[in-house]
Amino acid sequence: MHRTRPAPAASAPSAPTREDIEAFLDPRPVGERYGIGHAQARTLTAFGVHTIGILATLPESTVQSILGGRTG
């Protein structure tokens, strides 16, 4: 019996772009960011940092000042 090969897929899915990733992450609550615990999320929210997008715009020194100690 003769077997036929399945047709190859048209194309592999492309990797998400930076814009795709930002569009997905930016509106998400800051507490969903990996490495941000409940206490840190409450502190950031108290300072008006409600989303990952807002957190991403802050200078590292500002985040260190808000959370205290060392980050990164």
pLDDT at 33 over 80: yes
**Is residue 72 a part of any domain in this protein?**
no
Domain count, the chain: 1
Helix (H) or strand (E) holding 70, with range, is none
**Is residue 57 a part of any domain in this protein?**
yes
Sign of CA dihedral 62, 31, 39, 49: positive
Domain, as residue range, for 40: 18-67
Give the model's confidence band at 57: pLDDT under 50 very low, under 70 low, under 90 confident, else very high.
very high
DSSP designation for 51: B
**Is residue 2 a part of any domain in this protein?**
no
pLDDT value of residue 45 = 97
Residue range 27-39: mean pLDDT, rounded: 96
Residues recorded for the chain: 72
Reported as half-sphere exposure (CB side, CA atoms, 13 A), residue 44 has a value of 23
pLDDT value of residue 22 = 95
**Is residue 6 a part of any domain in this protein?**
no
**Is residue 25 a part of any domain in this protein?**
yes
Of 29, 16, 62, nearest to 72 (Cα)?
62
**Is residue 32 a part of any domain in this protein?**
yes
pLDDT at 4 over 90: no
pLDDT value of residue 47 = 97
